[in-house]
A and B are shown apart, each in its own frame.
Chain A
Amino acid sequence: MAALIERLTDDGSRRTMIWAAVLVAALVIAPWVVNDYLVTVLIVILYLAYTGQAWNIMMGFAGQLSLGHAIYVGLGAYIAAFLFTRFGVGPWVGFLAAMPVAAACGAIIGFLAFRFGVTGVYFAILTIAFAEFARIGFDHLDIVNAAAGLFLPVAQYSHNDLWRLRGDPTMFYYVILAATVVVFILCRVLIRSRIGYFWLAIREDEEAARAAGVDTFRCKLYAVMISAAITSFAGVFYAFFYNNLFPEQVFNISQSIQIILGPIIGGVGTLFGPILGAFVLTGLAESLNSALTALGLDLPGAEQVFYGVCLLFVVAALPEGIWPWLARRLGIAERAG
């Protein structure tokens, strides 16, 4: 009990919660302050923060590198969009259908890898392979229009229909903001739970974890399944926000790379890293675009070059990511994990 009180009143922890509350408050009032364009930028940022957080469960917590998270985005997007366009099933029910499918897909990949001792970079390659299978498979799957793509009917934005996710960008903004907050809290609960400790142990030293009695196979499998299930919601959101789906886009490896850049820049294994990374990357890239436009320069690919420079800078100067460095400056001690 004393230990619990000590933790709750822990100075670093309290400061962290204050910062998180300030950030959420600022994001809640943002749509009244900023213009429509910036709202869509914020949607992209929060989408990447959300997916980055989900990816971080696998890599940051359990130490399993996935370079194929696009598969879970794609499955979520296609299942929800298919059910909606074909049967009129709403996206929330679609999500309930997509979640177990994505988790099962993660379980299959995880089972094959962990059962046969595929680890490290070989595991990462396996995740790419599955995402590529899915991309090529969906490209030939006639029931979802194959390469021609799946289109959702675009409604007139006369009113916001939260149940069917039809409405203006502000509605989508609040949906993804709420999802990001929920997944942040979920990750915080997970990492402080029994399985969270086991994941960290596996990440640090799998053989030592096993010697301490951790069922590493099962724990790693849970990490993939939970991460996949959470990521599938991002797919549902993607489908209903963009209203069109092409296997070439949603399952593309660039989608997977986009997901992992935020947490890497922000700090792998931290709770704030994926959020901070998404803000820094997308925020600065958009500023760069605006600046170039204002200067009347047309430089295609400038954004990609910018991502590359950001990665180089972080890898060279802040290999743990920006957040651990910033947290020390702010006097916040996030638990090493």
Chain B
Amino acid sequence: MSALLSLTTVSKRFRGLVAVDAVSFDVPEGALFAVIGPNGAGKTTLFNMIAGATAPDAGTIAFAGAPIGGLTADAVCRRGIARTFQLVRPFPALSVEDNVIVGALLHRRGVGAARDHAQALLRRLDLFAKRRQLAATLTLPDRKRLEVARALATGPRLLLLDEVMAGLRPTETDRMVASLRDLNRDTGVTILLIEHVMRAVMALASRVLVLDHGTVIAQGAPEAVVRDPAVVQSYLGAETE
């Protein structure tokens, strides 16, 4: 497997604070790759740089062999990277279906074709029955699923999921894990997720990277990483879940 996404010594600082410090890693095509770490470890900053929401100060981000560091968010999305937000941001006054149609229109000219595609995705994510509702009326688990559907509708090769399990009950988490695993298996989409819920990470990820204070302290298979002394000390030891 070749690397779909490749970060080389990527750094980002906010005034005096180094949020991400010379982080390098590769995400192979087709992988289910998790980034974990305590709060403030720099996970979301890392995500924002990949997704084009902020530009890195140093280092290179390459996607499918081409540098994408510093591109705008919409340009990154057109290259094939779609994201969800940690705090969900559906279009509240639009229907569930229209939310997904917006994403589907990225690579489709006609609204009809976009609607067909959106409906297929809504079926996949168990939102079809709610497609006429306004997004604002959905429950949190449904809004999280809607974010995934909207991101998927843009036809990404890489899907960035920012704490998509946070705030979900265990049964909801299992449902989301199953959806994502099916998605990865059926469509081959590469998934990079930031996650706090270790239950989901262990069930889903083929590879885990641990960030702490902006640096990579471990990476590898999930079973190996959770036994790593540095990881246990900095992160899992403090985890009460």
A-side residues, CB < 8 A to B, are 3-4, 192-194, 197-198, 200-201, 204-205, 207-216, 335-337
Considering the complex, which residues of chain B in the window 93-116 have a beta carbon less than 8 Å from any beta carbon of chain A? 93-95, 98, 101-103, 105-106, 109-112, 114-116
Residue ID in chain B nearest A205 by CB atoms = B89
A335 to B111 CA separation, bound complex (whole angstroms): 15
B48 to chain A minimum Cβ distance, whole angstroms, is: 10
Give which listed residue, B90, B101, B112, B134, contacts A197 with CB less than 8 A: B101
What are 7 pairs between A and B in contact, CB < 8 Å?
Answer: A200-B93, A200-B98, A210-B73, A211-B85, A213-B82, A215-B74, A335-B98
Q: 19 additional contacts, CB 8 Å, given A211-B83, A215-B74?
A: A4-B112, A192-B111, A197-B101, A197-B111, A198-B102, A200-B98, A201-B91, A205-B91, A207-B53, A207-B89, A209-B102, A210-B74, A211-B151, A212-B103, A212-B153, A212-B154, A214-B106, A335-B98, A337-B94
Interface of B is mostly: helix
Give which listed residue, B51, B102, B134, contacts A336 with CB less than 8 A: B134
**Residue B92 interfacial (CB < 8 Å):** yes
The answer on a CB contact under 8 Å between A210 and B111 is no
Q: Which residues of A contact B6 (CB under 8 A)?
A: none
A330 to B83 CA separation, bound complex (whole angstroms): 40
A192 to chain B minimum Cβ distance, whole angstroms, is: 6
Q: Which residues of A contact B151 (CB under 8 A)?
A: 211-212
The answer on a CB contact under 8 Å between A212 and B106 is yes
B77 to chain A minimum Cβ distance, whole angstroms, is: 4
A213 to B75 CA separation, bound complex (whole angstroms): 7
**Residue B2 interfacial (CB < 8 Å):** no
Residue ID in chain B nearest A4 by CB atoms = B112
**Residue B150 interfacial (CB < 8 Å):** yes
The answer on a CB contact under 8 Å between B111 and A212 is no
The answer on a CB contact under 8 Å between B73 and A204 is no
Number of interface residues of B (CB under 8 A): 36
B107 to chain A minimum Cβ distance, whole angstroms, is: 8
Q: Which residues of B contact A3 (CB under 8 A)?
A: 112, 115-116, 119
B-side residues, CB < 8 A to A, are 51, 53, 72-74, 77-78, 82-83, 85, 89-95, 98, 101-103, 105-106, 109-112, 114-116, 119, 134, 150-151, 153-154
Closest 5 CB pairs of A and B: A213-B77, A204-B91, A213-B106, A208-B89, A210-B73
The answer on a CB contact under 8 Å between A204 and B94 is yes
Give which listed residue, A192, A194, A212, contacts B150 with CB less than 8 A: A212
Interface of A is mostly: helix
The answer on a CB contact under 8 Å between A336 and B115 is no
The answer on a CB contact under 8 Å between B105 and A198 is yes
Q: Which residues of A contact B82 (CB under 8 A)?
A: 211-213
A193 to B119 CA separation, bound complex (whole angstroms): 18
A212 to B92 CA separation, bound complex (whole angstroms): 15
Q: Which residues of B contact A212 (CB under 8 A)?
A: 77, 82, 102-103, 106, 150-151, 153-154
Q: Which residues of B contact A208 (CB under 8 A)?
A: 85, 89-91
The answer on a CB contact under 8 Å between B154 and A213 is yes
Query: Which interface residue of B51, B93, B119 has the most chain A CB atoms within 10 A?
Result: B93
The answer on a CB contact under 8 Å between B93 and A204 is yes
Q: Which residues of B contact A205 (CB under 8 A)?
A: 89-92
The answer on a CB contact under 8 Å between A216 and B119 is no
Give which listed residue, B74, B90, B115, B119, contacts A214 with CB less than 8 A: B74
The answer on a CB contact under 8 Å between A200 and B74 is no
A336 to B92 CA separation, bound complex (whole angstroms): 10
B111 to chain A minimum Cβ distance, whole angstroms, is: 6
Query: Which interface residue of A200, A205, A212 has the most chain B CB atoms within 10 A?
Result: A212
Q: Which residues of B contact A209 (CB under 8 A)?
A: 91, 102
A193 to B109 CA separation, bound complex (whole angstroms): 9
B162 to chain A minimum Cβ distance, whole angstroms, is: 10
Residue ID in chain B nearest A320 by CB atoms = B93
A222 to B105 CA separation, bound complex (whole angstroms): 17
A204 to B154 CA separation, bound complex (whole angstroms): 18
A204 to B102 CA separation, bound complex (whole angstroms): 12
B140 to chain A minimum Cβ distance, whole angstroms, is: 16
Residue ID in chain A nearest B155 by CB atoms = A213
A211 to B101 CA separation, bound complex (whole angstroms): 14
A211 to B82 CA separation, bound complex (whole angstroms): 7
Q: Which residues of B contact A213 (CB under 8 A)?
A: 74, 77-78, 82, 103, 106, 154
Q: Which residues of B contact A204 (CB under 8 A)?
A: 91-94
Q: Which residues of A contact B95 (CB under 8 A)?
A: 335-336
Q: Which residues of A contact B102 (CB under 8 A)?
A: 197-198, 200-201, 209, 212, 214
The answer on a CB contact under 8 Å between A211 and B51 is yes
Q: Which residues of A contact B72 (CB under 8 A)?
A: 210
A59 to chain B minimum Cβ distance, whole angstroms, is: 14
Residue ID in chain A nearest B134 by CB atoms = A336
Q: Which residues of B contact A335 (CB under 8 A)?
A: 95, 98
A139 to chain B minimum Cβ distance, whole angstroms, is: 41
Residue ID in chain B nearest A195 by CB atoms = B105
Query: Which interface residue of A3, A211, A216 has the most chain B CB atoms within 10 A?
Result: A211
